[in-house]
Structure 1
Amino acid sequence: MLKGKNAVVTGGGRGIGRGITEKLLAAGARVLVAQRQALEVELAANPDVFFVEADLAESGAPRLIAQAAAELLGGIDVLVNNAGFMFEQPIEAMSEQDWDRMMVVNLRAPVFLVRELLAQMRQRGGGSIINIGSIEGLGANPQHAAYCASKAGVHGLTRALAVDLGRDGVRCNAIAPGWIDSDLSNAYINAQADPVGARQGLLAMHPVGRTGTPQDVGGAVVFLASDEAAFVTGQVLVVDGGRTAKLPLPF
């Protein structure tokens, strides 16, 4: 589906990002992973995988990534703004520095990555931008004010870019994942007073009977990056196993 296409995936070497990278590779794309940590040996050994060390909290990171994309790939067709982070904090305990760092990584970095990479997409005749938002851009968990605001901003940015860039043949969509299995999410469950009960309760929230995997998100990315989604832009695709569609009952 993506033979001959070049992609940048921020945070593409671990967690959801790793699932996205693996699915893009399986579809035939070459992938530049941009993140702070070095790639794991298996991923680094793939001849279609490239790497640039970049900290998205730094203002110069988008330009650095764009330069690497030009030098290593000769330009890109697909940008996946995946990297981000989350913390739990009540609003009365939140500092301006906490808030600013969340917005810098989760929202500012995607904006300026688009700015820096847009010329490459235009030169190659168009492209696809896929922003990883969250179901928390649509609803909220307790003490997630900063995270929810950042992801709602990602969803709004997605619509605005779709409107502005359609004339250039550049589509922009977002994916809003629900609960996706990872080392961090598993650790969160295991930290609960009753991990077994917590896991059972979590599974009961999902009509499909399971939680998600990074590959579930990766599959959606491949679709949105491909010509199969040529008439899809400005959308937020929820990938959550039906969790947000299910109305909770008190019994």
Structure 2
Amino acid sequence: MTLKGKFALITGGGRGIGLGVTLALLEAGATVLIAQRQPLQGTLSQNPNVHFCQVDLLAKDASKTIAVYVEKHLGALDVVVNNAGIMFEQAVEDLDEEEWDRMMMINTRTPAFIVKALMPFLVASTSASIINMGSIEGIAANPNHLAYCTSKSAVHGLTKALAVDLGSKGIRCNAIAPGWIQSDLSNAYIGSQENEEKVMSELLRMHPVGRTGTPSDIGGVAVFLASEASSFVTGQILVVDGGRTSKLPLPF
């Protein structure tokens, strides 16, 4: 699969899952625009095929800022990866309205309005693909993740609605629903547990493939969805979780 000659935007593409997607898109030949608040680190900042738009994705004018950058510096866009998101844990009785609104803003509102702002470029593309980052928590729930699960369920719904509305314009839209993906945050969470070895063992037992995921696992799926290899795929939620949600739990 090749993305040579294609221009791709990825929000939050400088670290974690986003970095895995960025590296995979670059390897496939795409020119990548990373939009995020944090400056780029490492070799990304020196890569001639990487553009950077520093923007606070919580700002209401973030989508317009990105669209202006695309018009000025790229002139075209074929792939949009709405990857950036936030997560926090709160029990129902402790829900904070401001935190709830912040989560919904960046996880659901921002992707929708980025697509709106970039519509002229997507319509002009001969192979436009939108990829939203959902979650297995848009399908099932972990404790105290009410806001996060709600936001990711909304992302899945947004994906299907965009696929229906934009299909006649030649624009596809799909979502990736990652399971447990290794990152600084997930590793820190495991490390904070009293019995780290036991927790990791139990976590691995939940995955039929015998391991947790990596950002590159998500990157490979993103390349597929961005490429012509998936030209008849739209409106789908691709679960990438090592079989975790397919395995029925047993008490032994």
1:111-162 CA distances to partner (integer Å, 9 max, x unpaired)? Answer: 0000001111112234000000000000000000000000000000000000
AA partner of residue 126 (structure 2): G
AA partner of residue 157 (structure 1): L
Gaps of 5+ in 2: none
1:183-237 CA distances to partner (integer Å, 9 max, x unpaired)? Answer: 0000000111111111111011000000000000000000000000000000000
The match for 1:77 is 78
The match for 2:55 is 54
AA partner of residue 81 (structure 2): V
TM-score calculated relative to the size of structure 2: 0.98
- Give the Cα–Cα distance (whole angstroms) in 2 for the partners of residues 217 and 69 of structure 1: 25
Query: How far did 1:15 drift?
Result: 0.3
AA partner of residue 143 (structure 2): P
The match for 2:149 is 148
AA partner of residue 12 (structure 1): G
Query: Identity of paired residues, percent?
Result: 61
Is this contact kept in 2: 1:4–1:29, CA < 8 A? yes
Tell me how many residue pairs correspond in the alignment: 251
The match for 2:220 is 219
Gaps of 5+ in 1: none
Runs of 4+ in 1 over 3 A off after TM superposition: none
Query: How far did 1:96 drift?
Result: 1.1
Q: Find out whether 1:241 has 2:219 as its counterpart.
A: no
The match for 2:139 is 138
AA partner of residue 32 (structure 2): V
AA partner of residue 145 (structure 1): L
What secondary structure, in the 3-state scheme, does the structure 2 residue paired with 1:43 have?
helix
Is this contact kept in 2: 1:31–1:49, CA < 8 A? yes
Is this contact kept in 2: 1:63–1:116, CA < 8 A? yes
Q: Find out whether 1:177 has 2:175 as its counterpart.
A: no
TM-score calculated relative to the size of structure 1: 0.99
The match for 2:38 is 37
Matches within 5 A, 1:63-74: 63-74=64-75
Query: How far did 1:95 drift?
Result: 1.5
What secondary structure, in the 3-state scheme, does the structure 1 residue paired with 2:69 have?
helix
Matches within 5 A, 1:108-147: 108-147=109-148
What secondary structure, in the 3-state scheme, does the structure 2 residue paired with 1:140 have?
coil
- Give the Cα–Cα distance (whole angstroms) in 2 for the partners of residues 119 and 177 of structure 1: 29
Is this contact kept in 2: 1:126–1:168, CA < 8 A? no
The match for 1:7 is 8
Q: What RMSD in Å do the two structures reach over aligned CA positions?
A: 0.7
